Structures are given as structure tokens and as C-alpha cells.
Amino acid sequence: MQVGQKLQEIAGLLAARGVSESRLKAEFILSRAMNCRRLELPLHRKRELSPSQAEHVEAQIGRVIAGEPIQYVLGDMEFMGRLFKTDSRALIPRPETETLVEDVLSRADVWSSQHPAVADVGTGTGCIVLTLALEQPHGEYLAIDASADALTLARENAARLGVEERITFVRGDLLAGVQARSLDLVVSNPPYVATAEIETLQADIRNHEPRLALDGGSDGMRVISRLVPRAFNCLKPGGWLFMEIGEDQGARVRALMLDSGFTITNIRRDLAGHERIACGRKQNS
């Protein structure tokens, strides 16, 4: 069957099975099979799928129909222009986290240091810390995660991107074991979904992404409330904490930062207009 015909068939099948964004997911599956970018797929519409390509496509369709996220099915996800291996060991990188990284990179006072010390807490795929290491290669980077599986995935991505030797990977609880006043920057995308709200998430998120990386406790603040004071303790004077947070947590996180000693705090909205990025600076003294 030609690619164009197969695209129509897959999109129709996915739609009939109630899969959201059926056309888009069909395009992603076929473009990977044809080893081209999704927007280049029309250029291949008259090509025939080989038997091995057709077999691979059918397997991926089955996984999507079963509810698996398309990012896990494809096996990678673009984040700030780079491909990161993505599977059920860690959360899927999302645009909101790109906003977080953009904010971190904009802090000229952090990157003006000769060797800024940076910790990524809950590194997951490694998309945050690896992007920072690629954009600011003079930094010293620490990637921390409580999940051994997630940490292995981050290492795999680091090796693919050629920065494995420049990052220290540690399995641990938040910043346990990190020396006081040793860091210039702490960045984190912590679990911030309230436990009761997890059952209201989309099925592909709820059933496939790691619960450890989603569940923020009864109020969504369980991890954040522990991370903020620990980050303050580990930061040098003048150091910064950046976190991704839930859209209803801005006021609570700002109050927590102030109570913990941060003197400058800010909550930034994401592209959808939701409060999403919290940052705080430790007084430079």
C-alpha cells in the first residue's frame, strides 16, 4: 500500500477507536517509518511501504490504540530542538518545561560565573540538565533522581548527546547529601499533581507515565514543600531556584519561598496563561 493511502487508513482507524489527534499521530507513525520529518510526509505519499515497514507501523498502531502515549510509542521526543529518548521510565518532556529552561538560560548572572554549579532535581529524561549542559558547557552539573530507571534513561540521553562525562548522576532524595552553600542554581520539575487529581488526567498520562513523577501528595505540594528549604540551604548567596509548578500553586509557592528565606520571588505564566514557573533568589550577602 502507498504511504498516502496508509495514512488515510491509519487516521480513520485511530479516530474510530476514539484516539485523540488521530491524523497527527498517524502522520508521526508513518513519518518515522519512512525516515522523514512529519511535514515531509506528502513528498513520500506515492511510495510503497516495505513489508518490514508495514509490520513496524502495525505494531505501533496497536500500542496507540491500547492507550500508550505517542511519545513512548515513537521512542523519542523533541525538546528545545533536540531529540530525547523517551519511554515509561520518566515523564514525557513538555512545552511548559521548555519555558522553565528558557527562563533558567536567561539568568545572565548565573552563567557569568566561571564554573556555575547546577543541580537538576528529579531529572527524569535529563532534558533539563542536558539542555543546560549543551547551551552552557562551562557549568558543573548534577542530575538527581529518586528513580534508578529514570536515572539510567537520563544517562542514555547524555551519551546520545555527548555530554555524559560532564554530568554527575546521583540517585537520591531531593538534595540529600549536597553540601550547604555549594550551588549557584537549583532547577526542578517536581511532582505537583494532587493525588486525587491524578485520576482526572488523560488516560495515556494516568495509565502510562510514572506515578512517582506525577504525585505531589494531597495538595500537590508534598515534594515542593521539602525542596524549597533544602534548595535554599544548598544555594550560595545570590543563587537561584527555578521550579515548574501547578497552575493553582503560585501564591502558595511564593509564600513558601519567602518563608524559607528567598528575598526575590517571581511566578511566570506559561503560553496558555497559567502560572507555571516559580523562581526565587537567595540574598547575596
At residue 100, does pLDDT exceed 90? yes
Q: Return the C-alpha cell found at 120.
A: 537538576
Q: Give the pLDDT confidence of 138-157 residue by residue, as tens digits.
A: 999 999 999 999 999 999 99
Q: In 3-state terms, what secondary structure has residue 121?
A: strand
Cα 51 to Cα 10, 40, 45, 216: the distances in Å are 16, 21, 16, 46
**Tell me, what's the pLDDT at 39?**
86
Query: Residue holding cell 540538565?
Result: 129
Report DSSP letters for 13-55, one per residue. Answer: HHHHTT-TTHHHHHHHHHHHHTTS-GGGGGGGTTSBPPHHHHH
Q: Give the pLDDT confidence of 186-221 residue by residue, as tens digits.
A: 999 999 999 999 999 988 899 999 999 999 999 999
Fold that domain 76-282 belongs to in CATH? Rossmann fold (3.40.50)
The long-range contacts involving 163-170, CB below 8 angstroms and separated by at least 24 positions, are 163/130, 163/133, 163/134, 166/133, 166/137, 166/141, 167/126, 167/129, 167/130, 167/133, 167/141, 167/142, 167/143, 168/141, 168/142, 168/143, 169/123, 169/143, 170/142, 170/143, 170/144
- State the Cα–Cα distance between residues 285 and 279, nearest whole angstrom: 19
**Tell me, what's the pLDDT at 193?**
96
Where is 83: in which H helix or E strand?
A: strand 82-85
**In the chain, where are the structural domains located?**
3-66, 76-282
- State the Cα–Cα distance between residues 105 and 30, nearest whole angstrom: 35
pLDDT band at 20 (very low <50, low <70, confident <90, very high): confident
Better pLDDT: 45 or 151: 151
User: Would strands 183-188 and 262-269 be described as parallel, antiparallel, or unpaired?
Assistant: unpaired
**Tell me, what's the pLDDT at 101?**
97
pLDDT band at 2 (very low <50, low <70, confident <90, very high): confident
Expressed in percent and rounded to 5, the helix, strand and coil fractions of the chain are 45, 20, 30
Q: Which of 37, 40, 35, 41 lies closest to 6, judged by CA?
A: 41
Q: For the residues 257-271, what does the mean pLDDT come to?
A: 93
Predicted TM-score (pTM) of the model is 0.92
The percentage of residues in the chain with a pLDDT greater than 70, rounded to a whole number, is 100
Q: For the residues 269-280, what does the mean pLDDT come to?
A: 92
